[in-house]
Structure 1
């Protein structure tokens, strides 16, 4: 039986790693996938090991093995090194005896094979992506991210504000620019006019909106922009009826977002026939902000005209993700 070894950090595992491991199965009877995690890396060992196991759970030839190590004992290097390869070869000999072949796309494979007196099979296909590139901008490189990894990088961004502040328009425009999905405000479909809303409507809105978030979220399409959240619905309940709105835990959980953006009420008021009066709209703004404070929601306040709002939010999203582009 020919037993092969593929080792890596898999931080995260990507399509290139998967192709390499699958290539290894064509050369070996059994492939040990060594998931190497140092004590200084923030992406956890459990998470990376879970990804590898999930991806290859139905492959009889592949056995994932977790190796957690101290960088003081097992140094990292971005370049293949004979001295570092010798240290790692000793670790392989200790923890993974009876390895016949190492499969890699790097020069270190030659060094390890020489130290262990085994065969090195070089993966012949050119590298299309690296884990570093994915960490730097997973959204630009989304096509290389496996389905099991996507939830780790998937983010929900919520656009908040009182009536007539441009939430709906901005949410749609952001989704168009970032080429992703958005969730519209359920309240506009359920209640035609804010002045005719009743307490039962708010419960219906809360449940419908949460279901829409869950439905769109299943696509894991990089970023999900959401127009309004449960805090705004709760604020309406307090504003219109002086009642607390209590919802089920799953609704609260569905509404959890990573970034909250609040559009201030300094934008011109536009009455489209479905909204509160301008004075009530401005009073509602205070209720919204009070509810967000009670809920402990930190948000970025955006002011300015319509164009300024888009430019500010667009740049905010890029900066928040620490990226320069999405495509």
Structure 2
């Protein structure tokens, strides 16, 4: 059986993630989605909890690729302070896999050194389809909803994620301003 590992932080899950997820799920019998940095939340770069992200991803799978939902496994994975150990820690937390889907050069290097097959998923509209861009647009009252699937919008609104990101952005901005002036 071909089982793939798709790693991401999904802060938040956007249309590019959905496209790649569909693409990856077509290449394997089962797909493990490792929700990275699961130990991080309520930070500007990581505003959502692992549980919130899993709920958002699950809802997108259920709505957008329901025919494959029983072949997709979601697992939260915390960060490890030592890069060399990170892939081995992943092995302790997820079912066995024989393919890693990634476009991240560092992740690719770490898995290649271990002899794991790497597949680079198709990306769409990468110039603006990024979680960083979504968070930036939310913080600056710009149209972010065009970048994410409907289930993501719904759940971000339910958990008051827009206010959370704006508050985190303002806290970070005021902290940087104070540091600069002191």
Whether TM-score is above 0.5 comes out as: yes
Give the C-alpha shift of residue 97 in structure 1. 4.4
State the SS of the aligned residue for 2:35: strand
Note closer, same or farther for the CA distance 1:98–1:153 as it changes in structure 2 (3 Å cut). closer
Q: 2:38·2:49 contact (CA, 8 Å) conserved in 1?
A: no
Counterpart in the other structure of 1:113: 111
Note closer, same or farther for the CA distance 1:65–1:29 as it changes in structure 2 (3 Å cut). same
Counterpart in the other structure of 1:160: none
CA RMSD of aligned residues (A): 2.8
CA shift digits 1:255-310 (9 cap, x unpaired):
xxx8xxxxxxxxxxxxxxxxxxxxxxxxxxxxxxxxxxxxxxxxxxxxxxxxxxxx
| Structure with higher RCO (Cα < 8 A, 6+ apart) | 2
CA shift digits 1:103-156 (9 cap, x unpaired):
11221342232243210001243524111111111342321112122135549x
Instruction: Determine whether 1:4 maps to 2:29.
Output: no
Distance 1:63 1:103 in 2: 14
Counterpart in the other structure of 2:39: 39
Q: 1:103·1:109 contact (CA, 8 Å) conserved in 2?
A: no
Instruction: Determine whether 1:143 maps to 2:146.
Output: yes
Distance 1:61 1:96 in 2: 14
Note closer, same or farther for the CA distance 1:3–1:54 as it changes in structure 2 (3 Å cut). same
Counterpart in the other structure of 1:89: 87
Distance 2:95 2:40 in 1: 27
Give the C-alpha shift of residue 100 in structure 1. 0.4
Task: Judging by fraction of residues, say which structure has more helix.
Answer: 2
Give the C-alpha shift of residue 101 in structure 1. 0.3
After TM superposition, the structure 1 = structure 2 runs for residues 1-327 of structure 1, keeping only pairs within 5 Å, are: 1-42=1-42, 43-57=48-62, 58=66, 59=68, 60-67=70-77, 69=78, 71=79, 74-75=80-81, 84=83, 86-126=84-124, 127=126, 128-138=128-138, 139-154=142-157
Distance 2:123 2:39 in 1: 31
Unaligned runs of 5+ in 1: 76-82, 156-222, 224-257, 259-317, 323-327
